[in-house]
């Protein structure tokens, strides 16, 4: 039987009726049409489905939507400010940190959360913050450099 839940997604409140076994990733993608959240493994290994839940990056494929009733969620669609990209998005583009793009939403949300807590992270801190986000294309170096660049951009 469906349950009615309330979420604030990308600063907009919404009420949705969901089956108790639906994951947050399914609800975001299939019910709310937010296809920027990717699903790779579906079992918590790859981080492609990362969203920010009440200020923390989580694997949305492992979270049931009914568990997060009343929560605030940011997906990649909520990161830019209108037409202005977030510095992390801009830095990923400028630094060639995107190839196929499948990991990118999750990487950007993990990196943005890190930079909101630590405005000048050292490389090991960046690598640790992104350790739950797997990328099969870039070799990670460009991503780490893009996060450094984003940190510089955010200071200005
Ligand atoms: S799809 Fe969620 S961790 Fe891989
Ligand atoms: S850019 Fe392809 S998986 Fe990261």
Question: Which of 49, 103, 105 has the most ligand 2 atoms within 8 A of CB, as the residue to mutate?
Answer: 103
- Angle at CA 62, nearest 5°, toward 27 and 75? 50
The residue among 52, 78, 104 that closes a domain is 78
Ligand nearest to the CA of 51: 1
- pLDDT (average), residues 25-34: 98
Do 46 and 102 belong together in one domain? no
Determine the atom of ligand 1 nearest the C-alpha atom of 42. Answer: 1
Mark whether 23 and 70 lie in a shared domain: yes
What is the pLDDT of the chain when averaged over all its residues? 97
Q: Where in the sequence is the domain holding 51, given as residue range(s)?
A: 3-78
β partners of residue 59? 50
Which CATH number do you get for residue 43? 3.10.20.30
pLDDT per residue as tens digits for the range 118-145: 999 999 999 999 999 999 999 999 999 9
39, with CB counted inside 10 A (0-12, 13-18, 19+), is: middle
């Amino acid at each position: 039987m469906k349950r009615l839940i309330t979420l604030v997604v990308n600063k907009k409140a919404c009420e949705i009726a969901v089956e108790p076994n639906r994951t947050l990733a399914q609800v975001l993608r299939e019910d709310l049409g937010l296809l920027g959240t990717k699903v790779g493994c579906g079992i918590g290994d790859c981080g492609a489905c990362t969203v920010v839940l009440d200020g923390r990056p989580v694997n949305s494929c492992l979270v049931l939507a009914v568990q997060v009733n009343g929560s605030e969620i940011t997906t990649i669609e909520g990161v830019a400010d209108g037409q202005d990209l977030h510095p992390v998005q801009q830095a990923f583009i400028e630094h060639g940190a995107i190839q196929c793009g499948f990991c990118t939403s999750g990487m950007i949300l993990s990196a943005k959360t890190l930079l909101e807590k630590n405005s000048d992270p050292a490389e090991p801190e960046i690598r640790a913050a992104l350790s739950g986000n797997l990328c099969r294309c870039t070799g990670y170096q460009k991503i780490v450099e893009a996060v450094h660049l984003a940190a510089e951009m955010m200071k200005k």
